[in-house]
Structure 1
C-alpha cells in the first residue's frame, strides 16, 4: 500500500479514529437526507480541498526552508485552513462556501491545478443545506490528515468501499462499471508498469488502474530519488473521463495515492480521438475497461479508420492508435468483440497483424455483477520494439476469480487468478490454458473467442448464469452470421 507505519497500537488506534470520522460524516449527511451517491460527491470535494490545502502548506514550508517565494493557488480566506475554522459560526460558513468560495473556485485562472479545480467545481454541488449539519461534516474532515501514511491508507480503503457501494446501488454509475480491485491488480501485474513509463487510461473512471500502477511502481522500483518522484507525480499518469462527477472521484483517488500532478482531462475520448498520433505523444502502458453497449453516431466516427457504432470497438481502435513502440496494453472487452464480423473482424485482424496479442484471459460470466452479467475477457497485447506481431495467443479460462458469481460477490475459496499469474509468462498449457496459432485464427476469420479444447460442455454442472451467457453468445454469433449472409446476397434473403 501507500506507506508502512510501525507501532501497531498507535496505528490501530489511528485507523479507528479515521474510520470513525468518515462514518460520522456519512451518518450526518445521511441524517439530512443526502443520498449515498450525493454524499460520496460531497466527501470527494471536501477531501479534495482539505488535501489540496495540505499540499500547498507543504510546498510553502519547503519554499521557506529553501528561502524561495511561493504563492498559494488558494490563499487567504479561500484556503481550507481559514474558512473551515468557522464551524462555530455554521450559517456564516455555509453562506461563504456557497457564495464567495464556490464562485472563486469556478473562476480560477491558470494551467494544471487551477484548470482541474475550475473544472471540478463547475460541475459538482454542495449537497448540505443546513449550516449546523455542514459544520459537523467539516469538523470530521478536519480530523483527517492527508500527509499521514496511516490516514491515507485507511482513507483509500474507505473511499474505495464507498465507491463500490454507490456503484452497486446505481449500476453503471461511477465509471460505467466499477472494475474490481483484484482484476485491476492482476492486469497491472501482467503489464508491469515501471519508472519512466507514460501510463494512460482513456476512460479512467475512479482511476483504479492509474492508482494501482502508482502503487506497483513504488513497490518494485526500490528507493525513489527526487527526480523519480517528480516524474512519477507529473509525467507518468494520463487519463480522460467524460462524466464530471466521475472525473472528481478519479482525481480525488489519485490524490489519496499521493499523485498530485496526474494529467487528467474531462472530455469524450471518442470525440477527441485521432488515428495518426505522433510517437512522442503515445503511451507505453495502457490499461482500460471501456464502457460497452453504447452507440456512437456516424457523423462522430470520421476520425476512425474503421467505422463502427459500437463504443467498445472504437475504444479498442483508440487504444491501438495510442500505444507506443515497446508499449504494453491490457483491455477488458465484452466477448462479442472477439467474434463478431464486420468492423469488429477488421479491427481484430489489425490487432493480430500489427501487434503481439500474447494473452487472452477469459473471465467468468457474472464477474462484474451487480452492474452487468455480460461475459468479458481481458486482451493483453504489446507493440514490440522489434516489430514482431502475433505468432500465437495463450488463453486462460478463468472459472473462479475468488468471489461468488452473484450480486453479493462474497469471497469464496479456490480462486484461479494466482494460477493465471504464475503461468501466463511461460505460457504453460493445461486443462484451462491452451495456445492457438495466428494461422488458425486467420482461418476462422480472426475469431478470438476462447474455446477451451480440453473440455466438453458439461451442461449439467455448469452454473446457470454461465449457461445463459453461453446461449446468448451463440445467439449473437448466429445473428452476426445471418447478417453477413444477408449482406452477401445483397439483402435479398
Structure 2
C-alpha cells in the first residue's frame, strides 16, 4: 500500500492507470490463495474468449455487454481493450464516446469487495462503473437484456444451496452453475450470444441433461472448449469447460475442442496457463462469433470434432464427450504438492455437493 500511495496517480492517463491497476490485481491473485485471486479469472482464458466472441460495441445500435458474476471486472476490461485494438477511441465522435464509455459495459457481483475492485478497474479505464451489487440467481430477475454475456460463475455450491424462487427458471435445481446458465440464457437479447465458463458436471448431471434438452431447440449450443487441467489452480481444482451459445436458432451440431487430453496439467508456478494453450483453438474457432465459420473436423486423432444433434440426442443430451486416447506418459513426473492436496479437496467438495443435492431432493418428498 505504501508503494501505491507514493504513486502520483494524477500524472498518468487512463490507459496507463487501468493497466497498472489490472497488473496489481493479477499480482495479488498470483501471490495469494485468498483475496482477489478467487475472483480473478486467468487472463489468458479471458482474452481467448473475448478474441473469438468479438464484442464490438458498434456492431448494433443497442449493443451491450455484461458479466453477471464479474469479480474484479476482467471480462469487461478485456472486451474494452479488444475493441481499442480494432479502432482508436480518439477517433470516435462525442456521441459514440458516450455510448462506449457509459452505455455499453455492465456487470453484477455478489460480494462487496470484488465489486469495489471492479468499479475501480472500470473507472481507471475511463468506463462508467455500472456494476450492480446483488445475487444474480436468487434475487428477482430484473429483465435487463444484453447482446453479449461473458462470464465465469463461481464454482461449487457455497451459499444458499436452495432452489431459487425464479419463475423464469424452467429447470428447478439448487445447482448454482445450472441456474447461472438459465439466468444468462434468459438475459440475452434476440440473436444475443454468450460464453460461460462452467465445471464439467454441467455437461452430464441429471438436471443438466434436462436443461440442454429444452435449450437446444431455441439456442445454438455450437462450441464447447475443454480447458486444461489445473486452469484455476490454486483457487479451484475442477475440470472445466467454456460453452459458447447463440440465441435465435436451434442447435444442429456441436463442435468440441479438447485442450485437456494429453496436455500437461497447469500448475501455479512451474507450468502456468499462457496464451499458447489456446492459439490452436482460436485458429480452429474461426472469424465468426456465432460459431458459423467454416471448420474442419480433425477426426479421431484431432482436437476439434463435430457431433450432430442426432448424436447428441442419442446420448440423451449428455455433453461429456471424449475421443482422444489418454497418454499417461505426457504428464511425466512433474508435480507440485499443492496440486495433490487440491485434487483431494476437489474430490471431497464434489462428494459434499452431491450429498447436498440429494438432501434437497429428499426434503421435498
Matching of residue 366 in structure 1 with residue 230 in structure 2: yes
1: distance between equivalents of 2:332 and 2:152? 25
Partner of 1:289: 152
1:284/1:437 CA distance change after superposition, 3 Å? same
Q: Post-superposition shift, 1:326?
A: 1.7
Q: Is the Cα–Cα contact under 8 Å of residues 48 and 275 in structure 2 kept in the other structure?
A: no
Q: Does 1:219 align with 2:81?
A: no
Q: Secondary structure at the match of 1:262?
A: coil
* Closer, same or farther: CA 265–153 of 1 in aligned 2, 3 Å: closer
Distance 2:193 2:140 in 1: 19
1:352 to 216, 219, 231: 216
* Alpha-carbon distance, 1:375 to partner: 0.4
**1:301 to 2:165 alignment:** yes
For the 8 Å contact 2:163–2:172, the answer to whether it is kept is: no
CA gap 1:409/1:344 in 2 versus in 1, 3 angstroms: farther
Which of structures 1 and 2 has the larger relative contact order (alpha carbons within 8 angstroms, sep 6+)?
A: 2
- Cα 1:146–1:390 shift into 2, 3 Å: farther
Quote the residue 1:242 is aligned against.
Answer: 110
SS in 1 for 2:86: helix
SS in structure 2 of the partner of residue 317 of structure 1: helix
State the match for 1:202 in structure 2.
68
1:271 corresponds to = 138
Q: Alignment partner for residue 283 of structure 2, among 409, 419, 422?
A: 422
> How far is 1:463 from its partner?
6.4
Please give the secondary structure, in 2, of the residue aligned with 1:169. Answer: coil
- Secondary structure at the aligned position of 1:265 is classed as strand
The C-alpha deviation readout for 1:245-296, integer Å capped at 9, x for no partner, is: 111111111112221x23211111112243x93xxx3100000000121154
* Worse-superposed segment, 215-224 or 359-368: 215-224
Secondary structure of the structure 2 residue equivalent to 1:394: strand
Residues 310-369 of structure 1, C-alpha deviations (whole Å, 9 max, x = no match): 11111111001101112110000000000111x221112233222111110100111111
Task: Note the alpha carbon deviations across 1:143-163, whole angstroms, 9 max, x for none.
Answer: 122652574255134323333
Quote the offset at 1:206 in angstroms. 0.3
Secondary structure in structure 1 of the residue aligned to 2:106: strand
Uncovered stretches (5+) of structure 1, i.e. residues with no partner = 1-21, 27-42, 44-136
In the other structure, the counterpart of 1:231 is 99
Deviation per CA, 1:6-38: give whole Å up to 9, x if none: xxxxxxxxxxxxxxxx7xx24xxxxxxxxxxxx
Say which SS state the counterpart of residue 201 (structure 2) adopts: helix
Deviations 1:114-142 (A, max 9, x none): xxxxxxxxxxxxxxxxxxxxxxx3xx14x
Judging changes above 3 Å, is the alpha-carbon distance between structure 1 residues 422 and 360 closer, same or farther for their aligned structure 2 residues? same
Give the number of the structure whose alpha-carbon radius of gyration is greater.
1
In structure 2, C-alpha distance between the alignment counterparts of 1:401 and 1:174, rounded to whole Å: 31
On the 8 A contact 1:339/1:448 being kept in 2, the answer is: yes
Q: Which residue pairs with 2:320 in the alignment?
A: 449
Q: Residues of 2 paired with 1:395 and 1:463: CA distance?
A: 26
TM-score by length of 1: 0.60
Return the alpha-carbon distance in structure 2 between the equivalents of residues 169 and 361 of structure 1. Answer: 26
CA distance in 2, matches of 1:345, 1:407: 33
Partners of 2:95 and 2:163 in 1: CA distance: 45
Determine the C-alpha separation between the residues in 2 that align with 1:403 and 1:247: 34
Check 1:150–1:392 CA distance in 2 against 1; reply closer, same or farther (3 A cut).
closer
Corresponding position of 2:268: 407
Give 1:174's aligned residue. 36
Are the structure 2 counterparts of residues 150 and 221 from structure 1 closer, same or farther at C-alpha, using a change threshold of 3 Å? closer
Matched, 1:380 2:244: yes
In the superposition, relative to structure 1, how do residues 449 and 325 fare at CA in structure 2: closer, same or farther (>3 Å)? same
* Structure 1 residues 350 and 257: CA distance shift in structure 2, 3 A: farther
| Residue aligned with 2:156, SS | coil
Q: In structure 2, how many angstroms separate the alpha carbons of the residues matched to 1:403 and 1:227?
A: 49
Structure 2 residue 322 is matched with structure 1 residue 459: no
Partner of 1:337: 202
Q: What whole-Å deviation, never above 9, does each CA across 1:355-400 have from its counterpart, x for those lacking one?
A: 111110100111111112100000001113xxx2111111111149
Structure-1 separation of matches of 2:237 and 2:156: 13
What secondary structure is seen at the aligned counterpart in 2 of 1:214? helix
- Deviating more after overlay: 204-213 vs 217-226: 217-226
Residues 1:217 and 1:401: Cα distance change in structure 2 (over 3 Å): farther
